[in-house]
């Protein structure tokens, strides 16, 4: 299987470099990804290790594989590394969610052959890469990604290179000023938690009056700032987003700046607990001439294994798009 062969390439060479460089598996994975892209060993390693690496790289030529095969195998290697080196900010958006957000982008942006897209919390880049690979050759996407974690942004950079996707990446706090022009589409698996920089939070309408503000609320505001009028935002949000003490302020802010298009609850079976369950939240930034849809698309996904229920839901969604778009 192509994905298994590629995973073995990433995994075996990362393990060699991990031992040689005395680093974590994820750091070694980024290094081997750079070697594969540059077609040479870039690090100072022993002669024996270099021969082993060269042999592995020659056995599995990257040009023989599709971007999706590369993304999936690279993703599996990252997931292995995350299990060994767990951090709360090391998370990856599941493929299923990425595929569905890509479907939604295609429906809301139907007919548009050129667009710009931003992920302000790109992490390892799996969500954005799933979308870029899924759009096909007939759609040109100018892509941007931001993340404060230097290792995650490096993994995203390596992944984009290996998949031959042009993405401009920024290693910074996404809530600080971004030197990125407004885009047509924002996608973001919102990192949920408190934002520690109270001074910078003062620049946002959605700051809390006392204590640390919610980072995910501020990211919604920052994303709307960097979306073109009439542009769309696709967020992965916690199901309880509108149940905390700041919910009223968030609701009022959204009422002033955007139209809610859809709230799609993902299957609870995808998450470890009901408390960690999420939904896809779709907004359109207000613009003269753009109107609120007749009704917001509200739906709860059935189990993905239930084909009949999924088909019924997709029919319902298609009907909504015909009547509202």
CATH number at residue 159: 3.40.50.150
- Give tens-digit pLDDT for 109-156: 988 999 999 999 999 999 999 999 998 778 899 999 999 999 999 999
Distance CA 202, CA 73 (A): 42
Is 146 inside any structural domain? yes
Contact 314, 304 (CB under 8 A): no
**155 and 284 share one domain:** yes
**164 and 216 share one domain:** yes
**58 and 77 share one domain:** yes
Sign of CA dihedral 99, 105, 111, 115: negative
**24 and 104 share one domain:** no
**119 and 210 share one domain:** yes
What is the pLDDT averaged over residues 161-167? 95
Phi-psi region of 188 (alpha: psi -120 to 50; beta: other; left: phi over 0): beta
Is 74 inside any structural domain? yes
**51 and 129 share one domain:** no
| 270 DSSP 8-state letter | G
**41 and 166 share one domain:** no
The band of 90, judged by pLDDT with boundaries at 50, 70 and 90, is: low
Is 89 inside any structural domain? no
Rounded to 5 degrees, φ, ψ at 51 are -65, -40
Question: In the predicted model, what is the mean pLDDT of the chain?
Answer: 92
Is 180 inside any structural domain? yes
Distance CA 67, CA 167 (A): 14
Q: Is the pLDDT score of 93 beyond 80?
A: no
34: which strand partners?
Answer: none
Alpha-helical runs (H) found in the chain: 2-21, 25-38, 47-59, 67-84, 95-108, 126-135, 150-162, 198-201, 215-225, 247-257, 307-324
Is 181 inside any structural domain? yes
**Contacts of residue 60, Cβ cutoff 8 Å, sequence gap at least 6:** 5, 6, 8, 9
213: exposed, middle or buried (C-beta count within 10 Å: 0-12, 13-18, 19+)? buried
Whole domain around residue 163: which residue ranges?
A: 95-324
Q: Tell me what pLDDT residue 273 has.
A: 80
**205 and 258 share one domain:** yes
Q: Tell me what pLDDT residue 61 has.
A: 86
Distance CA 91, CA 8 (A): 22
| 210 DSSP 8-state letter | S
- Give tens-digit pLDDT for 283-319: 999 999 998 999 999 999 888 888 899 999 999 999 9
Dihedral over alpha carbons 207, 210, 214, 219 (to 10 degrees): 20
Is 271 inside any structural domain? yes
5: tokens are 């062969």
Sign of CA dihedral 122, 8, 84, 276: positive
Domain count, the chain: 2
15: tokens are 């393990």
Distance CA 153, CA 192 (A): 19
Phi-psi region of 92 (alpha: psi -120 to 50; beta: other; left: phi over 0): beta
**157 and 42 share one domain:** no
β-pairing, 167-171 vs 140-147, is parallel
Taking CA atoms, 239 is separated from 28, 95, 193, 263, 280, in Å, by: 36, 19, 14, 10, 9
Is 90 inside any structural domain? no
Of 50, 84, 118, which closes a domain?
Answer: 84
Count of CB atoms situated within 10 Å of the CB of 115: 19
Rounded to the nearest angstrom, the gap between the alpha carbon of residue 34 and the centroid of all alpha carbons in its chain is 21
Sign of CA dihedral 232, 236, 240, 241: negative
Of 31, 58, 84, which closes a domain?
Answer: 84
CATH, residue 30: 1.10.150.470
**71 and 101 share one domain:** no
Of 60, 84, 108, which closes a domain?
Answer: 84
Is 12 inside any structural domain? yes
| 44 DSSP 8-state letter | -
**162 and 204 share one domain:** yes
Q: Is the pLDDT score of 87 beyond 60?
A: no
**170 and 295 share one domain:** yes
- Give tens-digit pLDDT for 220-279: 999 999 999 999 999 999 998 888 888 899 999 999 999 999 999 998 888 878 778 899
Q: Is the pLDDT score of 100 beyond 60?
A: yes
């Amino acid at each position: 299987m192509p994905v298994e062969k590629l995973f073995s390439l990433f995994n075996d060479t990362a393990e060699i470099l991990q031992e040689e460089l005395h680093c974590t598996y994820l750091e070694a994975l980024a290094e081997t990804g750079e070697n594969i892209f540059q077609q040479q060993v870039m690090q100072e390693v022993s002669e024996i290790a270099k021969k082993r690496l060269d042999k592995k790289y020659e056995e599995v030529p990257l040009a023989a594989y599709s971007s999706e095969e590369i993304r999936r195998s690279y993703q599996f290697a990252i997931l292995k590394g995350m299990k060994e080196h767990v951090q709360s900010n090391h998370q990856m958006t599941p493929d299923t969610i990425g595929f569905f957000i890509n479907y939604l982008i295609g429906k809301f942006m139907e007919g548009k052959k050129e667009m710009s897209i931003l992920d302000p919390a790109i992490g390892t880049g799996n969500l954005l890469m799933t979308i870029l690979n899924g759009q096909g050759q007939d759609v040109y996407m100018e892509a941007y990604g931001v993340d404060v974690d230097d290792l995650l942004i490096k993994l995203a950079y390596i992944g984009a290179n290996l998949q031959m996707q042009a993405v401009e990446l920024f290693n910074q706090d996404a809530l600080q000023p971004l030197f990125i022009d407004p885009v047509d589409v924002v996608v973001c698996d919102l990192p949920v938690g408190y934002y520690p920089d109270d001074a910078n939070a003062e620049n946002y309408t959605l700051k809390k009056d006392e204590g640390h503000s919610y980072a995910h609320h501020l990211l919604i505001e920052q994303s709307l700032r960097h979306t073109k009028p009439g542009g769309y935002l696709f967020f992965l949000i916690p199901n309880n987003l509108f149940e905390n003490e700041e919910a009223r302020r968030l609701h009022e802010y959204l009422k002033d700046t955007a139209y809610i298009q859809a709230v799609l609850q993902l299957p609870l079976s995808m998450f470890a607990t009901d408390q960690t369950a999420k939904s896809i939240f779709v907004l359109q930034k207000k613009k003269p001439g753009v109107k609120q849809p007749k009704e917001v698309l509200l739906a709860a996904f059935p189990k993905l294994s239930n084909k009949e229920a999924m088909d019924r839901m997709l029919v319902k969604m298609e009907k909504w798009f015909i009547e509202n778009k």
